[in-house]
Amino acid sequence: MTYAIALLPGDGIGPEITKAAVGVLEATGLSFQWDEQLAGVTAIDVTGSPLPDATVESIRRHRIALKGPLTTPVGTGFRSVNVALRREFSLYANLRPACTMMPGGRFDGVDLVLVRENLEGLYIGVEHFIRVGGDPRAVAESTAIVTREGCERIIRFAFEYAVAQNRHKVSIIHKANILKMVSGLFLEVGRDVAREFEGQVDWNDLIIDNTAMQMVLRPEQFDVIVTTNMFGDILSDLAAGLVGGLGLAPGANIGADEAIFEAVHGSAPDIAGRGVANPAALILAGAMMLDHLEEHEQAARVRAAVQHTIVEDSIRTRDIGGTATTAEFGDAVARRLS
C-alpha cells in the first residue's frame, strides 16, 4: 500500500528537518507518495499568499499532512498560517506527547500526553481597544469564547485517546475557581464526560497554576492532560522542557476529517541553512502520523530508533548536547531502521 501525504517543508529550518524526517519514514520500508506544497514566507515569495489554494486542496484531498515549521511575517496583514490551517480544517485537537528519551532531560520516566483544545478560548482573537478620553488605545479588551460543544468534543477526544492507547488517567485542567463561566463550563462538561468512562479510565481535575507546579515537582503523576487552548499552549512547552526541550517535541492537529503532523518548535531562521537543526521533533511527528495511519509497529520502530540514536549511539545535534548535523542525525536514525 502507498500512502499519499501532503508535504509542507515550510520555512527557515523546515526544508532541512523535513528532508531528514522523510528519509527516516522511507527507511521503514513503507511506501509514500509525497505531494510537496508551499506555505508560509516561501509561499508568499512565489504565490503572494502564505497559504495558497493548491496547498489547501492538497491537504483536503489527501486528508493528512506532514508539515515543517512556518514563519508568519512580522508587520504584515498576514495572520498565523498555523492558526489558519487549524481553522480551515477544524483541527480541534492538538496532541502533544512528552516522553523522556535521553539523559539530560529534567526528569526520568516522564510519559505524558497533552490534549489541547485548538479552536476556542482567548486565542480565538476577539479583541479590541476602548477609547478613554483622548486615548483611543487606553484599554485593550479580549474575549474568551468557550462552547459546550467544543468542550465536550476535546474532552471526549482525550478520554477516547486514553482508552485506545491503554492509558490510565485523564487530568482535566481548568481555572474554574476564578473564571467561573469560561473555565467553569469546561470543568462541568469534563465531569459529565468523565462519568461515561467510569471503570475504564481514572480522572481528576486540577487548577492550572497547581498543575504547573505539580508537573515540575512530580511529572510522573500525569498521564493524559486535557485543557483549553491557552493553558494547553503553555503547559505543552513546560512538558517539553521536562524531557529535553522543543527539539524533542512532536505535535499533531487532528480534526474529524484531516490531520496535520508537525514539530512544535518554530522555523528558527537564525540557523536556517547551517545544517545544525534537530530533526527529532519532526521525525517523532512522523511516528505520530504512522500511528494515525494504523501503522503502529512502524511508529514504535521510529520512536525506538530515535531513542537508540541519542542514547546508545550518542549521536545528537547541538541543542541536546552533541555535534551532529541535521543530516547526520537523520541518517543515523534511518540506519537504525534499515
Domains detected in the chain? 1-97+243-338 (3.40.718.10), 106-242 (3.40.718.10)
By residue count, the chain amounts to 338
Q: Give 267-293 pLDDT, tens digit per residue.
A: 999 999 999 999 999 999 999 999 999
Please give the positions annotated as active site.
123, 175, 209, 233
Residue 104 clears pLDDT 70, i.e. is over it:
no
Q: Give 194-247 pLDDT, tens digit per residue.
A: 999 999 999 999 999 999 999 999 999 999 999 999 999 999 999 999 998 999
Q: Give 124-148 pLDDT, tens digit per residue.
A: 889 999 999 999 999 999 999 999 9
- pLDDT at site 102: 77
Residue 107 clears pLDDT 80, i.e. is over it:
no
- Spatial distance between the Cα atoms of 165 and 162, rounded to a whole number of angstroms: 5
Residue 78 clears pLDDT 70, i.e. is over it:
no
- pLDDT at site 230: 96
- pLDDT at site 205: 98
- pLDDT at site 14: 96
Residue 255 has a CB neighbour count (10 Å cut-off) of 18
Residue 189 clears pLDDT 80, i.e. is over it:
yes
The string of DSSP letters for 67-88 reads E---PPPTTSS---HHHHHHHH
Number of H helices, E strands in the chain: 11, 12
- pLDDT at site 142: 94
Mean pLDDT of the chain: 94
The pTM of the full predicted model, rounded to 2 decimals, is 0.94
